[in-house]
Structure 1
């Protein structure tokens, strides 16, 4: 049986890039950026007016001039036509380019305009006041966005500003999702007293969707070895196969035997964690990877979060996965020498982690309202109140 850390190392060794492609900017949401993005020019590309106001030469102010002739109005996107002479100014709008030589702006609220002249109600100025200077945000050829990085709304906005219309991203892997169990039925079908609904199929589809991955193959199969073998022969054609259920040590847990029949090389089977101990991970002869996750809802979520997503991060070329750390609101004890995972919520007023109450890994509401999955290390018996612990954000 592998430890949690050794199992992760095996996943890191198995991970490799899915390759790269370009997508249109409007299709880049949640895709993983594959190439560093550099600035095509300075930003701002010119000295930009940060306020509606009046732009003039600071040296005129230092000479004692307090009344200025307005020679031109400059709007955003327009180029000035007249050059300033001594004692002259431009009326300028926010976002407009400040002509060479103008190096101070007094905002409109501090000005008194009469006919073609303007005076001001302020006594002190600073050079480049209310002017965003060329290149102060980003210099030309500077790396603005480092890859890999998920393309969220903020990043996409920056890409658009940089003129990136086609975004280099990592190719999404083809994925199969196979849920198992003779007692499991789809949510829209009639259910008997001794059956349960297939929540994990929808959990897995939703978790994959956060990576913009839509399963290419998705089905449910009963606990029958020949049926499982037939379904998995088709499922394993994809890059990643996620199987849920049938991986423990019960009489109807056929997944390990079927994997052997199909020539799958087992990377590890069973990890010293709770919940999720029975997890099996293997590789096909064609380089695909199989994650056989336990069937209980919390076990399914935990093993996807800490193993499947770990593999995705490495395959998308992340050097390190961000794991968060916050103090605990209360203490937590354990008796096992396993690494334990438990659902937590971030307290809204003080930011500490609160444990959620649940009745074991089969509890369908165990993670309802959870902000993350916290880690109780194998070698720590008690997490004391106020001590900081690591957790995976959901």
Structure 2
């Protein structure tokens, strides 16, 4: 049995960057960029009118001129055809390119126009007023996004603005999800008193979906060596295999032995944590990775969040999975020498973490209102109110 820190270090050594591919911008949501993005030109690419109004020369204003003849109307997407001379102005629309000779825009609401002449009714004007200058947002070749970077709708909008119609991203891995157990049945079926519904299969698929990953193989297998062997033989053809249940020390916990019979090399079995102690990790003959997670609901959620996500972050190019630091809002005592993870909720009013009451790792409600997991180190028997502790957000986001 290894420590939590040793387990994370070992996962780092197993992690290798996924291959890359090019995709269309339309398909980029939630994908991870595998290239740095630079500005293809200045932004704005010209002096841009920030509102509808009249563009004048500041020198005219400073000389006391308040009435101007309209030389030309400039709309967004058009280029001025006439030079601006003293005593004249452009009538200009929001977003239009402002000629360099015009260095002030007076908003429409502060003027009065009649017979192609406009009178300005403001007391002050300053250089570049109401003009977004060329390059003020981004300069040509400025680094905009550094890889790796998760594509969000806001990111996609920016990528479109800089002309990235196709993107280099990390490929999504092939993944198999196998849940096990004679006592586990599908949610659609009636239950006997000794049976439970297969919540973990749906949990794991939903957690993977946060990464845009859809398992290529997803099935439930009873605690039968022959059936497990058949299912695992297909599952380990994938880059990542996630097995749930059957990894403890019970008489029907066949998973480690069956994986060994298929040539899967055990990397480690059992970690000094609670919940999730029975975690099993191995390497397949084809170079894939197997995570065998314990079957209790909170144990499954915890081991995926802490270990599987750490692996995915690193394979998608990140140095590590994000871990945040927050003060805990009440004291907490543990009576064992293991590193413990427990569900917490972010308190927006107190800017800290609130404990969530639950009845052990088998409690199906344990993660319901939680924002993520907090960590209590193995040698820390008591956490005191306002202690700063590590926080791991659920669902690949904060």
For Structure 1 versus Structure 2, the TM-score category normalised by the shorter chain is: over 0.9
Match of 2:147 in 1: 147
Give runs of aligned pairs for residues 1-394 of structure 1, distance below 5 A: 1-394=1-394
Displacement after TM superposition at 1:277 (Å): 0.6
User: Equivalents in 2 of 1:111, 1:339: separation in Å?
Assistant: 69
User: Equivalents in 2 of 1:11, 1:44: separation in Å?
Assistant: 45
User: Equivalents in 1 of 2:86, 2:320: separation in Å?
Assistant: 58
SS in 2 for 1:200: helix
The CA deviation string for residues 346-368 of structure 1, in whole angstroms up to 9 with x for no partner, is 12433321111110000011111
Displacement after TM superposition at 1:321 (Å): 2.4
Greater CA drift, 26-35 or 113-122: 113-122
Displacement after TM superposition at 1:320 (Å): 3.2
Count of matched residue pairs: 394
Displacement after TM superposition at 1:146 (Å): 0.9
The CA deviation string for residues 15-44 of structure 1, in whole angstroms up to 9 with x for no partner, is 112200111111111111110111111111
The CA deviation string for residues 323-364 of structure 1, in whole angstroms up to 9 with x for no partner, is 122222211111222111111111243332111111000001
SS in 1 for 2:169: strand
Displacement after TM superposition at 1:91 (Å): 1.1
SS in 2 for 1:125: coil
> What TM-score does the superposition give when structure 2 sets the normalisation length?
0.97
User: Equivalents in 2 of 1:203, 1:288: separation in Å?
Assistant: 22
| Runs of 4+ with deviation above 4 angstroms | none
User: Equivalents in 2 of 1:321, 1:115: separation in Å?
Assistant: 65
The CA deviation string for residues 101-156 of structure 1, in whole angstroms up to 9 with x for no partner, is 11111111222223222222222222111111111111111111111011111101
User: Equivalents in 1 of 2:379, 2:340: separation in Å?
Assistant: 10
SS in 1 for 2:106: strand
Conservation of the 8 A alpha-carbon contact between 2:310 and 2:320:
no
User: Equivalents in 2 of 1:224, 1:44: separation in Å?
Assistant: 65
Displacement after TM superposition at 1:388 (Å): 2.2
User: Equivalents in 2 of 1:368, 1:245: separation in Å?
Assistant: 21
Displacement after TM superposition at 1:223 (Å): 0.7
User: Equivalents in 2 of 1:348, 1:141: separation in Å?
Assistant: 39
User: Equivalents in 1 of 2:204, 2:321: separation in Å?
Assistant: 20
Displacement after TM superposition at 1:297 (Å): 0.4
Displacement after TM superposition at 1:10 (Å): 0.7
Conservation of the 8 A alpha-carbon contact between 2:23 and 2:168:
yes
SS in 2 for 1:94: coil
SS in 2 for 1:287: coil
> What TM-score does the superposition give when structure 1 sets the normalisation length?
0.98
User: Equivalents in 2 of 1:322, 1:268: separation in Å?
Assistant: 24
Displacement after TM superposition at 1:56 (Å): 1.3
SS in 1 for 2:43: coil
Displacement after TM superposition at 1:309 (Å): 0.5
Displacement after TM superposition at 1:218 (Å): 0.7
Displacement after TM superposition at 1:371 (Å): 1.1
Shift of the 212–51 alpha-carbon distance from structure 1 to 2, 3 Å rule, reads same
User: Equivalents in 2 of 1:258, 1:57: separation in Å?
Assistant: 82
Displacement after TM superposition at 1:255 (Å): 1.1
Structure 1: 5+ residue runs without aligned partners? none
Conservation of the 8 A alpha-carbon contact between 2:309 and 2:321:
no
User: Equivalents in 1 of 2:367, 2:4: separation in Å?
Assistant: 21
Conservation of the 8 A alpha-carbon contact between 2:2 and 2:271:
yes
